[in-house]
Amino acid sequence: MRFWLQAALLGLAVGAAPSAGAAPKGNPPSSPEASDAETLRRVGYHAPDGSRRLGRVYPSPDGEQVAFFEQQSDDVQLVVAVKGGVSARWPVTQETAKLQVYWVGPTEVVLGTDVLAPKARVRWYVARAG
């Protein structure tokens, strides 16, 4: 089965704040690097040559997707890897890559220092073809 990911960065968040129950998802890791590597392996993500992950990995509540920041040369991107699918990428600044990722829906994250004070919102759509 093949998956296509259509995505759009909606820019600075405007409108209602996400629910107070949203938080960075995932179990507290015993070893952050080992836990992050395992999470990426579970969704089948393979980093491009010459890239490096910035910060931690944020798995979705269902564990089928993972969001994180990645740098290749001077380019920094927010990456959402979908299990069995194609990774979506959005260019971001170095400052944005310092923010946390909060899952607020199955295909939506907000970026910020707190879920109630988002700096950006990202939504994407997953199309499945069989």
DSSP codes, 82-129: ETTSPPEEEEE-TTGGGSEEEEEETTEEEEESSTTSEEEEEEEEEEEE
Average pLDDT (72-85) is 95
Give the number of domains in the chain. Answer: 1
Domain, as residue range, for 62: 2-129
Sort strands 118-129 and 2-9 into parallel, antiparallel or unpaired. Answer: antiparallel
Query: What pLDDT does 127 receive?
Result: 75
Query: What is the C-alpha radius of gyration for the chain, rounded to an integer number of angstroms?
Result: 14
The partner residues of 67 in beta bridges, in order of sequence, read: 58, 80
Query: What pLDDT does 59 receive?
Result: 96
pLDDT grade, residue 92 (50/70/90)?
very high
Choose between 14 and 95: higher pLDDT: 95
Query: What pLDDT does 129 receive?
Result: 67
Entry pTM: 0.75
What 3-state class would DSSP assign to 38?
helix
